[in-house]
């Protein structure tokens, strides 16, 4: 394993914004190729962030419900999973239009991480707000016609979800398992089968949280409580490299930039001593991860 200690990790968005509020649970960065902006959320701060590196700006929109994740939408705007269900958000205004709530009978749950499959279906998982009891969440698929299927039950903290470059594999993290699981994936039907564990994260690296994939098919995993992002070969289950982040709670990562040549890394400040970790809650950028990303699939509905 090689580590990248000399890699120039920079702060892209400082932890305290113009409103003087520190990002509580910065999460879910995703690059929108069409607009060349990075969308990310502050789940517990209940905000959508739009970072435009060309203008060096980061605009925040307060939302009426807790956002779990967003993904670009082919028709414009972004599909969003909020604590009250799926909808679309206009990220130039912050206006949300709700579509459907598959867990309207479970007010104790909220949506968490999610992403689109290669056909433009949107997947997102739910967890218990208080994270008290295990197995209370599920993974849902929002189809292009806005109907919803439950695709996996008994999830505890569903997080990183990403498809292999050919779409034939789905990689998924349920954080307390400390592993990355893989399913065989049928892109035409959206069926996921044959779950196995491909990566086991060592205890000293904390818990796996968000995840993305690069143009070589390798996985990049953010480590909650581990202060790093790691790159893995999912075929071998082996770690290739590690990027140290000066914040213990590293939540997710996403490639961005004109050629998807940078890696953005989100962090959290919740339950953190911000004297000891002054950058907790910042969005970081690794300008030279040494590999490019691939464009994030857009929601097709």
Q: How far apart are CA 174 and CA 185, in angstroms?
A: 18
Q: Which residues bind Ca ion (CB under 5 A)?
A: 113, 159, 209
| CB nearer Ca ion, residue 32 or residue 115 | 115
Q: How far apart are CA 5 and CA 228, in angstroms?
A: 11
Long-range contacts, 195-202 (Cβ 8 Å, 24+): 198/171, 198/234, 198/235, 198/237, 199/232, 199/234, 199/237, 200/237, 201/226, 201/230
Nearest distance from C-beta of residue 285 to Ca ion, angstroms: 19
Contact of 45 with 62, CB cutoff 8 Å? no
Nearest distance from C-beta of residue 45 to Ca ion, angstroms: 14
Nearest distance from C-beta of residue 175 to Ca ion, angstroms: 7
For 10, 23, 36, 69, 176, the CA distances from 283, given in Å and listed in that order, are 9, 9, 16, 16, 24
| CB nearer Ca ion, residue 159 or residue 248 | 159
| CB nearer Ca ion, residue 175 or residue 241 | 175
Nearest distance from C-beta of residue 113 to Ca ion, angstroms: 5
| CB nearer Ca ion, residue 78 or residue 301 | 78
For 49, 61, 155, the CA distances from 93, given in Å and listed in that order, are 11, 8, 33
Candidates 113, 174, 209, 214; catalytic one: 209
| CB nearer Ca ion, residue 69 or residue 301 | 69
Q: What angle do CA 83, 73, 30 make, to 5 degrees?
A: 70
Nearest distance from C-beta of residue 5 to Ca ion, angstroms: 25
Catalytic site residue 209? yes
Tokens in use for 250?
């590293």
Residues known to be catalytic: 209
């Amino acid at each position: 394993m090689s580590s990248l200690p000399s890699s120039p990790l920079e702060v892209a968005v400082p932890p305290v914004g113009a409103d003087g509020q520190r990002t509580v649970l910065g999460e879910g960065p995703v690059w929108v190729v069409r607009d060349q902006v990075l969308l990310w959320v502050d789940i517990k701060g209940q905000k959508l962030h739009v970072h435009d590196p060309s203008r060096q700006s980061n605009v925040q929109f307060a939302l009426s419900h807790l956002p779990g994740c967003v993904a670009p939408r082919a028709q414009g705007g972004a599909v969003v999973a909020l604590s009250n269900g799926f909808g679309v958000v206009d990220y130039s205004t912050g206006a949300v239009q709700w579509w459907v709530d598959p867990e309207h009978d479970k007010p104790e749950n909220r949506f968490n991480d999610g992403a689109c499959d290669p056909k433009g279906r949107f997947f997102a998982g739910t967890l218990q707000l208080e994270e008290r009891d295990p197995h209370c969440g599920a993974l849902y698929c929002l189809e292009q016609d806005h109907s919803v299927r439950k695709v996996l039950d008994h999830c505890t903290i569903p997080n990183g979800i990403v498809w292999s470059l050919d779409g034939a594999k789905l990689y998924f993290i349920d954080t307390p398992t400390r592993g990355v699981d893989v399913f065989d994936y049928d892109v035409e039907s959206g069926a996921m089968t044959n779950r196995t564990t491909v990566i086991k994260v060592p205890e000293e690296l904390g818990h796996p949280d968000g995840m993305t994939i690069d143009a070589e098919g390798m996985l990049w995993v953010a480590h909650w409580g581990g202060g790093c992002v790691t790159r893995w070969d999912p075929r071998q289950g082996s770690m290739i490299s590690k990027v140290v982040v000066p914040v213990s709670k590293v939540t997710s990562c996403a490639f961005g930039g004109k050629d998807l040549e940078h890696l953005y890394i989100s962090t959290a400040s919740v339950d953190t001593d911000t004297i000891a970790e002054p950058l907790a809650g910042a969005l970081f950028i690794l300008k030279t991860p040494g590999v490019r990303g691939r464009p994030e699939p857009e929601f097709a509905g």
